[in-house]
């Protein structure tokens, strides 16, 4: 099952966000969260916000286990 989250009106260029998004594609959520937390890039904060929204959607709306989630696709 795919979970979708969108973040709108982020005041940063798509090219900068895409660099961070490409790093976390295919990772599980825990690894991606750690990478984004310690990344010095401003785009990491934007991507982390969208990722945490998707995790909350999966947990609340679908009752999925957070430990089993991974990022199958991410696009900017």
Q: How many CB atoms lie within 10 A of CB 14?
A: 12
Question: Count of domains in the chain?
Answer: 1
Q: How many CB atoms lie within 10 A of CB 16?
A: 16
Tell whether 1 is covered by a domain.
Answer: no
Tell whether 19 is covered by a domain.
Answer: yes
Tell whether 3 is covered by a domain.
Answer: no
Whether the per-residue pLDDT at 23 is higher than 90: the answer is: yes
Give the helix/strand (H/E) hosting 29: helix 29-37
Q: pLDDT per residue over 46-64, tens digit each?
A: 999 999 999 999 999 999 9
Pairwise CA distance, residues 35 & 32, whole Å: 5
Tell whether 63 is covered by a domain.
Answer: yes
Tell whether 9 is covered by a domain.
Answer: no
Tell whether 42 is covered by a domain.
Answer: yes
Tell whether 7 is covered by a domain.
Answer: no
* Domain extent at residue 54: 14-68
Query: 9: phi > 0 → left, psi -120 to 50 → alpha, else beta; which?
Result: left
Write the CATH number for 60.
3.90.470.10
Stretch 8-36: mean pLDDT, rounded?
A: 96
């Amino acid at each position: 099952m795919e979970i979708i989250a969108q973040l709108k009106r982020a005041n940063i260029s798509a090219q900068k966000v895409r660099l961070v998004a490409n790093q976390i594609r295919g990772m599980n959520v825990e690894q991606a969260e750690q990478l984004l937390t310690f990344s010095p890039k401003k785009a990491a904060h934007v991507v982390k916000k969208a990722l945490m929204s998707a995790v909350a959607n999966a947990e609340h709306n679908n009752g999925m286990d957070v430990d089993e989630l991974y990022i199958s696709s991410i696009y900017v």
